[in-house]
Amino acid sequence: MAVLIIDGGAGALLYEAEHRHGIYDALQVGWKVLTRGGSALNAVSKAITNMEDNPSFNCGTGSVLTIDGKVEMDASVMTEDGKYGAVGAIRQIKNPILVARKVMEQTDHLLLVGDGSIKFARLMGFKKYEKITKRSKDRLAKLKKEGKSDYFPKLKKYMKLGTVGAIALDNKKRIAVATSTGGINGRLSGRVGDSAILGAGTYADENGGATATGHGELIMKLFLSKLVVDLMKKYSAQKAVDIALKQVRSQKGLCGIIALDKKGNVGIGYTPKSMSWGYIKDGKVNIF
Ligand code: ASP
């Protein structure tokens, strides 16, 4: 049995119809891999690459900006056999998820950040890509104008959330998780969030996989994805997500999480107003 679940980020869903279409497209791309006997890793890589190229999502081309107007992205990938690769605060790259996968497959490291990650990407043949959407510029301008943030009170600014994540189970029972983000609007340059950190934004083992979205600082403190996967030793994916979110709620945190257990059960939950998500199971598409 193959299953693919993805999310387009939690928070205020600014572009709901676009997200619905985008989730549908990414599901189709990943599902095609799985139905042709491809690996869970290829399925999540394709799904996330598709979302990184869709400016509706906060990752890749649609990334929100740092306080000084720069695109800096985090991405990670992990498989159930413990392999992991990530990039943090990477710039001038179209698809950070593919660079994270190269870190996993071609280096002895887990995480490359900043200039080093760009140098590595060029070595691996990734071309320079620098695009900032008008929407991202407008969002930063709005933040600066309003001057308040619920999440970064020290910045006294404002922001919206929206990482993307994907988890697949393939016909050979392999599990892969991928997460990619443009970070949080208006954060300091050099900040690395949960999407690059093992066990925080992304985790997988033989029990299942999980990917998180939302307030990265809290997700890192809770090791949210690892927490959910650990809970899946005992509970179904949905129950594991529900238990983990209690911890998020107790801290009044804004986080979303999707999970997939080894039996192919999905789990979806979030504390902000909304989250875009979708999955394909038994060939049937379900979208938020
Ligand atoms: N978790 C991401 C971060 O903190 C943001 C998001 O999910 O929207 O960088």
Per-residue model confidence as pLDDT tens for the chain (288 residues): 999 999 999 887 778 899 999 999 999 999 999 999 999 999 999 999 999 999 999 999 999 999 889 999 999 999 999 999 999 999 999 999 999 999 999 999 999 999 999 999 999 999 999 999 999 999 888 888 887 666 566 654 334 567 999 999 999 999 999 999 999 988 889 999 999 999 999 999 999 999 999 999 999 999 999 999 999 999 999 999 999 999 999 999 999 999 999 999 999 999 998 999 999 998 999 999
Ligand 1 neighbourhood includes 195 CB (under 6 angstroms): yes
Ligand 1 neighbourhood includes 179 CB (under 6 angstroms): no
Angle value at C-alpha 255, between 251 and 258, nearest 5 degrees: 130
What phi and psi values does residue 34 have, to the nearest 5 degrees? -65, -40
- Asked if residue 183 belongs to a domain, the reply is yes
Q: What distance in angstroms lies between residue 35's CA and the mean position of ligand 1's atoms?
A: 31
- Asked if residue 160 belongs to a domain, the reply is yes
Instruction: Report the nearest atom of ligand 1 relative to the CA of 256.
Output: 7
- Asked if residue 288 belongs to a domain, the reply is no
Owner of token pair 């209690």: 246
272: domain CATH number is 3.60.20.30
Please tell me the distance from the alpha carbon of residue 274 to that of residue 221, in angstroms, as a whole number.
22
Q: Is 153 exposed, middle or buried (0-12, 13-18, 19+ CB in 10 A)?
A: exposed
Q: What distance in angstroms lies between residue 161's CA and the mean position of ligand 1's atoms?
A: 6
Ligand 1 neighbourhood includes 276 CB (under 6 angstroms): no
Number of domains in the chain: 1
Helix (H, G, I), strand (E, B) or coil at 281: strand
Determine the structural domain holding residue 193 and report its residue range: 3-276
- Asked if residue 284 belongs to a domain, the reply is no
- Asked if residue 78 belongs to a domain, the reply is yes
String of DSSP letters for 222-280: HTHHHHHHHHTTTS-HHHHHHHHHHHHHHTT--EEEEEEETTS-EEEEESSSEEEEEEE
- Asked if residue 207 belongs to a domain, the reply is yes
179 as an active site residue: the answer is no
CA distances to 38, 41, 75, 181 from 213, rounded to whole Å, are 26, 20, 12, 9
Please tell me the distance from the alpha carbon of residue 43 to that of residue 14, in angstroms, as a whole number.
27
Active-site hit among 66, 79, 163, 271:
163
